[in-house]
Chains A and B, each alone.
Chain A
Amino acid sequence: MDLFIQLTLTGLTNGAILALAALGFVLIYKSSDVINFAQGEFLLIGAYVMFSMLVQFSLPWTIGLVLTLLVAVGIGVAVERLVLRPLIGEPIISVIMATIGLSSLLRAIVSTIWGNQPRAFPAFIPSKPVHVLGATVGADRLWAIAIAGGMLFLFNLFFTRSKEGIAMRAVADDQQAAMSMGISVKRIFAWAWSIAAMTAAIGGALVANIVGVGPELAGFGLRVFPVVILGGLDSIPGAIVGGVIIGLLEAYVGGYIGMGLNQVISFIVLILILMVRPYGLFGQEIIERV
C-alpha cells in the first residue's frame, strides 16, 4: 500500500508536468494546426533560464520565475514572428519541418550558453521528505503537483472566461470567421506560442527542481506525444487527463514491473491508441465526407 501511494504521488508529479507541456502543444495545434516538435526545447530553455536566474544572478525564486516567464513570452513571440509568419500560406508540413529545425537550433543555443554537463539545480522548492498516508515523498513533488495543477486551473479559466481565450478558441475553429469578428489571427498565434513557451518553462523549472538541469530534459518533448495522442491532439482537457494517465502509468509500471518497461510503456499506449481510437479520448473526430 505504501508503495502504491508512493508511486501514485510520483506519477501525479510527472503527469502534472507532462500535462503542462502538453497543454502548450495542444494550444499550438488547436489554433494553427502545427505540430510543434520544439516543445521539449522550450522546456529545456525554461529550466536553464530559471537556473541562471537562481545561480548566476542569485535572485529569489519568485522574481526568477517571473523573469523566466517573461523570457518565455519573448521566445514565443520571436518564434511566431521569425519562423511562422514567413511560412503563412505554406503547406503545413513545411511549418512542421521548421519546428524540427527550430528544436535543433534551440538545443544548440542552449549548449553554447550553458554547456552540456548536467548540473545540480538549487532547490527553490523545499524538498525535505514528508509523510503522506504512510508513504514518504519529497515535498518538492507535492509542490510540483500543486503548482502545475494551479497553472492548469488558471489556463482553463483563461480559455473559458477571457476575451483572448474566447478569441483563441474561435481562431481554432474557423480562422476566416474569426477575422470577420475583428480578431487578429496573427496576434492569436503569438499568444498561443507564448503560452506554450510559458507552460513549458514552468514545467521545465519544476522538473529541474527535482532532477537537476541537463540537455536530456528536452526528452520531455517526446514524452508529450503519447499524452496528446491519448488525450486528443486538439483537446485541452485531454492534455490534462492524458498527462495524468501517462504519468501514473509510467510510475506503476516502473514500480510493479520494472525492467525498463516504464520507459516504453507510454509509446506502447501511443501505438495502441492510434490503432483503436486515433483521435484520442477527447479529440475531435474528423469525418471527411467526399
Chain B
Amino acid sequence: MLRGFRHPLNSSRLKPGETQLQVQNVHLSFGGVAALTGVTLEVKQSEIFAIIGPNGAGKTSLLNSISGLYKPQSGHIIFHDGRGSHELIGMKPHKIARLGIARSFQNIELFRHMTVLDNLLAGCHVHMKSNLLSAMIYWGPAQREQIAFREFVEDIIDLLEIESIRNKKVGTLAYGLQKRVELGRALAMKPAILLLDEPMAGMNSEEKEDMARFILDVNEEHGVTIVLIEHDMGVVMDISDRVAVLNFGQKIAEGTPDEIRKNPLVVQAYLGEEQAVFPFAAGAAGGRHA
C-alpha cells in the first residue's frame, strides 16, 4: 500500500509507518470560547489521515495550530523529521513551513496577482539559495539554480495537469483550478507533510474525482503524508487510511473508515440522535482498505 519514499517531492526522512506528527492534549481558546479541548492524535509517515466533524468542531483550528497561525494555550504538537523532534507550539509559521509542513487553505489563499508559475516558485522559496546580487545579475549559479527550480516546478505542473495555464494570473482562473494550483504551491515546498483544508469544497463531482486522484498520486507515488479536512464523506471514506472525528473541540473517535462508519458516537454527532441512519453508510462501502 505505501509505496514510494524519498522522492524529490517528499522531504521527510522517516520510514513509512513511523510516527511523524503528535498532537498531545492540545487546548485552544479564543477569549472564553474553547475551540479545542484536549485533542490528542498521531499521524504516521505516508498515510492519509482525515479529520472530519460538523461545522465549528475545531478542524481548521487544529490545522492552524499545527501550522503556527494559532497558538494553543497548552499541550504539545511535536513534529519528527528523522533528524530530531520539534515542538511546534510557539514556533513562528515560517519556521514551521521550513520544517516541511505545507498547507492549503479553506478559502483559497493564493498570490492572486502572480502567475501560476510564480506562485509555484514562491512555494520553492525556502529551497532557493542564490543571493540578491547574483539573482540581480542573473548569472552563473543563480541562473543554474533558477533553471533547476523551473524544471522541478514543471514536474509539478505535469503532475497536476495544469500545463495550459502556467502563465495565467491566478486571480483569473476558475475555482477548481485555483484549488489545484494551491495544492501545487504546497507541493513545491517539497513537503514532509501536507495539510489540506477542504481541498474539494465547492467542486463538482468531476473536479472532486480529479483532486482525489492527485492527492492519491502524491501520497502513493511520492510517499507524502497527508492530513486532510473534508466534508465529502464519500471521498474521505474512499481515500483515507485513518479518520479522526472532532465534535465541539473534542476528538470523539478515531480509526479506519470502516470503524468510523460503525461508531455510534459519530452517528450521534452528525445526526444528533442515535437511532438515525448514518449518512454515508451505504454509498461509500469498500474504500481503500476493503
Known contacts: A170-B122, A170-B125. The answer to whether A161 contacts B138 by CB under 8 A is yes
Docked complex Cα distance between A157 and B69 (Å): 32
Interface 9-mer from B33-41, B91-99, B219-227 = B91-99
Give A179 to B105 CA distance when docked, in angstroms: 12
Q: Are A180 and B67 in contact (CB under 8 A)?
A: yes
Does A164 make an interface contact (CB < 8 A)?
Answer: yes
A166 contacts which chain B residues (CB < 8 A)? 114, 118, 121-122, 125
- Whether the Cβ atoms of A182 and B138 lie closer than 8 Å is no
- Cβ–Cβ < 8 Å partners of B123 in chain A: 181
Give the Cβ gap from B195 to chain A, nearest Cβ, in Å: 9
Contact check, A180 vs B125: say whether CB atoms are below 8 A apart: no
Q: Is B276 in contact with chain A by the CB < 8 A criterion?
A: no
Scoring B92, B94, B97, B102 by chain A CB atoms within 10 A of each residue's CB, the highest score goes to B94
Within 8 A of A (CB), among B195-252: none
- Enumerate A149-192 residues with CB–CB distance to B below 8 Å: 154, 157-158, 161-167, 169-170, 172-174, 176-185
List A residues 203-217 near B (Cβ within 8 Å).
none
Q: Are B105 and A177 closer than 8 Å at their CB atoms?
A: yes
The answer to whether A163 and B128 have CB atoms under 8 Å apart is yes
B111 sits at the interface (CB 8 A): yes
Task: Say yes or no: B114 contacts A184, CB within 8 Å.
Answer: no
Q: Is A263 an interface residue (CB 8 A)?
A: no
| A-binding residues in B (CB < 8 A) | 67-69, 92-95, 97-98, 102-103, 105, 109-114, 118, 121-123, 125-126, 128, 130, 132, 135-136, 138, 142, 146, 185, 189
Contact check: which of B102, B113, B121, B146 meets A180 at CB < 8 Å? B102
Q: List 9 A-B contacts (CB under 8 A).
A: A162-B130, A162-B136, A164-B132, A166-B121, A174-B111, A180-B103, A181-B122, A181-B189, A184-B92
Q: Is A94 part of the binding interface, using a Cβ–Cβ cutoff of 8 Å?
A: no
Choice from B68, B92, B114 contacting A169 with Cβ under 8 Å: B114
Check A183 against B94 for contact (C-beta < 8 Å).
Answer: yes
Whether A184 and B94, one on each chain, are in contact in the complex, defined by CB atoms closer than 8 angstroms, is yes
B126 touches A162 (CB 8 A): no
> Quick one: closest B residue to A184, CB to CB?
B94
From B110, B125, B138, give the contact of A183 (CB < 8 A).
B125
The 6 closest A-B pairs by CB, nearest first: A162-B135, A182-B97, A182-B126, A173-B111, A179-B93, A177-B109
Known: A158-B136, A162-B135. A177 touches B111 (CB 8 A): yes
Say how far A17's CB is from chain B's closest CB, in angstroms. 21
Q: How far is the CB of B71 from chain A (nearest CB, A)?
A: 13
B residues near A180, Cβ cutoff 8 Å: 67, 69, 93-94, 97, 102-103, 105, 109
Residues of B within 8 A of A173 (CB): 110-114
Contact between B132 and A158, CB atoms less than 8 A apart? yes
Please determine whether A154 and B136 come into contact, CB atoms closer than 8 angstroms.
yes
Q: What A residues does B92 contact at CB under 8 A?
A: 179, 184
Given contacts A181-B123, A181-B185, A183-B125, contact A162 B94 (CB under 8 A): no
User: How far is it, in angstroms, between the C-alpha of A65 and the C-alpha of B128 when the chains are bound?
Assistant: 30
User: Distance in Å from the Cβ of A270 to the closest Cβ of chain B?
Assistant: 24
Q: How far is the CA of A148 from the CA of B247 in the complex (A)?
A: 60
Across the interface, name the chain B residue whose C-beta is closest to A169: B114
B189: A residues at CB distance < 8 A: 181-182
List the B residue with the shortest CB-CB distance to A179: B93
Selected from B98, B121, B142, the residue in CB contact (under 8 A) with A182 is B98
A165 contact set on B, CB distance < 8 A = 135
User: In the bound complex, do residue B125 and residue A163 qualify as a contact, i.e. CB atoms below 8 Å apart?
Assistant: yes
CA distance A133 to B112 in the complex (A): 46
CB nearest neighbor in B for A185 = B94
With contacts A169-B114, A180-B93, A182-B95 known, what are 7 further pairs, Cβ within 8 A? A174-B111, A179-B97, A180-B94, A181-B97, A181-B123, A181-B126, A182-B189
